[in-house]
Structure 1
Amino acid sequence: MKKEEFSKFLIDMMSRHYEYNITELSSKDGRNTFWGIQKEKNGINRCLVFLNKDNISNVDTNESQQELIKVLVLNKENEKEEIKVQDKDINKIIIVDEEKNKLVYCPQELEEFGAQMYSILQYNEKVESEKRKDKKSIITISLISINVLMYIITAIFSRNILDSDIRVLIYFGAKVNELISRGEYYRLVTAMFLHGGLVHLVLNMYSLYALGPLVEKVYGKIKYIIIYFAAGIVSSIFSYLFSEGVSIGASGAIFGLLGAALVFAFKMRDRIGKGMVTNILSVIGINIFIGLTLPNIDNFGHLGGVIGGILVSLIVESKFIK
């Protein structure tokens, strides 16, 4: 976030959540203007103006009868530099660090404003943390995007947003044993990105979003891709060998991620405890049980996904395991 954007964010959030009015102040020479916020309380009009170290002393303090509070925004370029503030101003200055997203200094008499700003900075840290998480999980987000895009395409051709036409699914690459036997081996891969209905898609994408970032973090992006596709292909091969029906869905690859997580948890059990191993085994067991009790579930595909994920993750190994 750029310095100007950071100040704008603070101004916007303060005005939105604490009922400040946005205002504009001039520099002493009248050449520049600075954004601020103001609010009247107990008959006193208090104005917070957002500045940097270069213009901290250039704002006109004589504008209108109001109490002026300077908010000094530090950034990466000047955060370690000595900030020269006149002694008479020290109790009217709040200092925030944009780079570290933290409140650096707030005099006791301004603690009300400091507390408000602190809560906003905490919120901003949470938002930025979510952005960093999404950035780190770029492969998972990309896989979800491909699956959603393919569903939109099949929904358009099926003329139905809730359920996909089986003929459309076959046309776009569903696993069909007879066609694979004729040499259409690409179906072992394309079937991973097709879904039979909106509920099917949502459940699989939720599972991928919940599990994918963990596997992506502990194995790294390249190994994660290898595990995902290898597990998905092994899942399709198991389905081809042991199931006659048409098969589609990302669940085989997702079961492969469960297998990879199981391998990681087992090898790291002395450091992270055996609870994670038990939890993953429970999830796998519950899903297999659900698959056995519900119709139209490709259990052999799921089994192949788990086996494929375990075998491949044993080969590539997590970057955290030494």
Structure 2
Amino acid sequence: MENDDNKVDNLENSFLIYNHESQTLKGFDYFIAWIKNFPITALCIFISIVLYILVSYSTYFEFKSYPQENAREYLAYIKYGAVLGGPSQELLSQGQLWRLLVNVFHHGGFIHIFFNLTAMYVIGAYAEKYMGSIAYLIFILLCGMGQEIACQLTIEQGAIGISGVAFGIFGILMIIKNQDANIKKFMTKELIRSMIFQLILFMFLTYFNILNIANVGHIFGLFYGFFFAFTFYKSPSLIKKIFFVLVNLSIIPGLYYIYNNVIN
């Protein structure tokens, strides 16, 4: 009889939407097996949830002496590593540039975190399985830092959330969809059109001050996903990889500019 470890290993594909073999695992066993197969996606979700809980607790309990909820929330985010524009920008001039990456895992409310983590749960599994956990992690870190730098250098200082990374993952899946049967089945024309429509809709909602959305982060993430996929999964070559490295080195002057711009 097949032992439990082998059963879990053989179910690597079973957690994807179009494969229903995961019905053989229930409850806690399914949860553990999913984490084992997609550890980086699970880690991103876990970090985001923990930060959301900590910020919520501090907002309503630790900083309850402050009369304005916005002030309480602002202080809570700063305590747990975020940088939200305004006075907190001074923290970047003190060398706390790591806060830009932490911003990726913070979210501005239940609806924000619910939709972002749902997207990560669904599309992250496809990407992590195809790319491998190490490459997937590298992409998340580079894309996350890149989206925050892009936001800082434009009009979206203090943007938070993992949605830019999610759009980046979606960009990768768009490029590689014909290279994997599961991804091809998932990435329908209707889904791609709906995501593009959503991206455009967000721009209009922001322009008319209906919602405050980090469109720069979303657009950066999507095109960074295209760039990453074309470099490593679409006729990869040494020249492409060298160019990729050179482009990503622009993170360094980007951080330097942010650091000095805050001081000045």
What residue ranges of structure 1 are gaps of 5+ in the alignment? 1-74, 78-98, 101-121
Task: Call closer, same or farther: CA 1:174–1:287 in 2, change over 3 Å.
Answer: farther
Superposed CA RMSD in Å reads 3.4
Alpha carbons 2:156, 2:216 under 8 Å: kept: no
Q: State the structure with more CA Rg.
A: 1
Match in the other structure for 2:189: 278
How many Å separate the matches in 1 of 2:32 and 2:50?
Answer: 22
TM-score, normalised by the number of residues in structure 2: 0.64
How many Å separate the matches in 2 of 1:170 and 1:191?
Answer: 10
How many Å separate the matches in 2 of 1:272 and 1:173?
Answer: 34
Match in the other structure for 1:125: 24
Match in the other structure for 2:213: 297
Alpha carbons 2:128, 2:136 under 8 Å: kept: yes
* 1:175 Cα deviation after fit: 4.8
After TM superposition, the structure 1 = structure 2 runs for residues 1-322 of structure 1, keeping only pairs within 5 Å, are 75=1, 125-127=24-26, 132-159=33-60, 165-171=73-79, 172-176=81-85, 178-179=89-90, 182=93, 183-265=95-177, 268=179, 276=187, 278-279=189-190, 281-292=192-203, 293=205, 294-317=210-233
* 1:131 Cα deviation after fit: 5.3
Secondary structure (helix, strand or coil) at the match of 2:160 reads coil
How many Å separate the matches in 1 of 2:189 and 2:91?
Answer: 37
How many Å separate the matches in 2 of 1:296 and 1:139?
Answer: 28
* 1:257 Cα deviation after fit: 0.8
Task: Call closer, same or farther: CA 1:246–1:285 in 2, change over 3 Å.
Answer: same
Over 4 Å off, 4+ runs? 128-131, 269-275
Q: Which has the higher strand share?
A: 1
Match in the other structure for 1:5: none
Alpha carbons 2:156, 2:214 under 8 Å: kept: no
Task: Call closer, same or farther: CA 1:191–1:138 in 2, change over 3 Å.
Answer: same
Letter in 1 for 2:60: R
Cα displacement string for residues 29-81 of structure 1 (whole angstroms, at most 9, x for unaligned residues): xxxxxxxxxxxxxxxxxxxxxxxxxxxxxxxxxxxxxxxxxxxxxx459xxxx
Comparing both chains, which one has the higher relative contact order based on Cα–Cα distances under 8 Å and sequence gaps of 6 or more? 2
Match in the other structure for 1:119: none
Alpha carbons 1:260, 1:310 under 8 Å: kept: yes
Q: Number of residues paired by the alignment?
A: 200
Q: Which has the higher helix share?
A: 2
What residue ranges of structure 2 are gaps of 5+ in the alignment? 8-20, 62-68, 235-264
TM-score, normalised by the number of residues in structure 1: 0.53
Alpha carbons 1:188, 1:237 under 8 Å: kept: yes
